[in-house]
Amino acid sequence: MRVRGASYAERVSADVRVGADGRPRCGWVGEDAEYIRYHDEEWGVPLHGDRALFEKMSLEGFQAGLSWITILRKRPRFREVFEGFEPEAVAAFGEDDVERLMTDAGIIRNRAKIHATISNARLLLGMAPGDLDALLWSFAPGPGRQRPDSFAEVPAVTAESQAMSTALRKRGFRFVGPTTMYALMQSTGMVDDHVSGCWRTAMLTA
């Protein structure tokens, strides 16, 4: 979907911005090239696999209280120092690793979040392969969910994200609050919150 003749700054609505390539996108993307790539290639695309979902859950936890673009820019370093978010590797981290990570300006240096990531990896190892994937996706809303027309219609928390958070907390997982879990649901394609008019809507409903 393209809007011909639109200038770079022109908006289709208050919630959709037309980029330099003529594609209308969710307005939150702005003009940052990495944010545009993330929006176009990752956000809202179904993601599966325990390792991939553990990585996304960990990064969403680090994002709490911050902007996602901050995490996105630091993601390559996060992946490097957390051994690609391989659960076995992260679960083996000790206090020396925590101190090493606390000195690394390339990530978010939050001791509680680092400890939570390690603890969550250990909990994941106690689950059967595929169980995290199955658990998280069990909370995805069924078909027929209405697409938002504006950001005002996009919730911060839903009954499903609250249920997901409760289930994870009962298992001992940390930094998995309902708002964080709704962001996880958006980013992993469990819900599709691309607003009407965004070019990605045609791709995701094809």
- Which residues are marked as active site? 38, 60, 68
What distances in angstroms separate CA 202 from CA 1, 20, 147, 190, 195, one per listed residue? 8, 19, 12, 17, 11
The residues, ordered by sequence, that sit 6+ positions from 91 with a Cβ below 8 Å of its Cβ are 118, 121, 122, 124, 125
Residue 103 CB contacts under 8 Å (≥ 6 apart), including other chains = 109
